[in-house]
Amino acid sequence: MDPWCAMRDGLRSAPSHFRYLDAAQLVKHAFGLVTEARRISRAPVLFYLFAEPSRVSASVRSEHRAEIEAFSVAVSGARVRFAAASWSEWLMRFASPASSPEVAAHAEALRRKFEP
């Protein structure tokens, strides 16, 4: 958990380092996950699923993604693995040929409903 501890400590000294990513909340979740993972003998993964509404400027979306990448690099190699995807990216995974037609259709319906 050293990378997560370093992130926690870094946020204490520079709490506004992340403007769009709630890094402190992610750190809290990571510590909760590692505790629960030990209890149930599982490998913990913190998956950050985020929206990118078109009404938000491209520059803000880009900055948010840059913060996610920086955060990911900073906590890489820790016991709690960190992964992230936008809703759009996540739904596209279910549209693959490996998915059942029902799952692919459901993912496509969600994408149409929530994306312009």
Give the DSSP per-residue string, 22-73: -HHHHHHHHHHHHHHHHHHT---EEEEEE---TTS-HHHHHHHHHHHHHHHH
Q: How much is the mean pLDDT over the chain?
A: 93
pLDDT tens-place string over residues 33-74:
999 999 999 999 999 999 998 899 999 999 999 999 999 999
| This prediction's pTM | 0.87
Q: Where are the domains of the chain?
A: 2-81
Look at residue 111 and give its three-state secondary structure: helix
Alpha carbons 77 and 9: distance in angstroms, whole number: 17
For the cut 70, the answer to whether the pLDDT of residue 10 exceeds it is yes
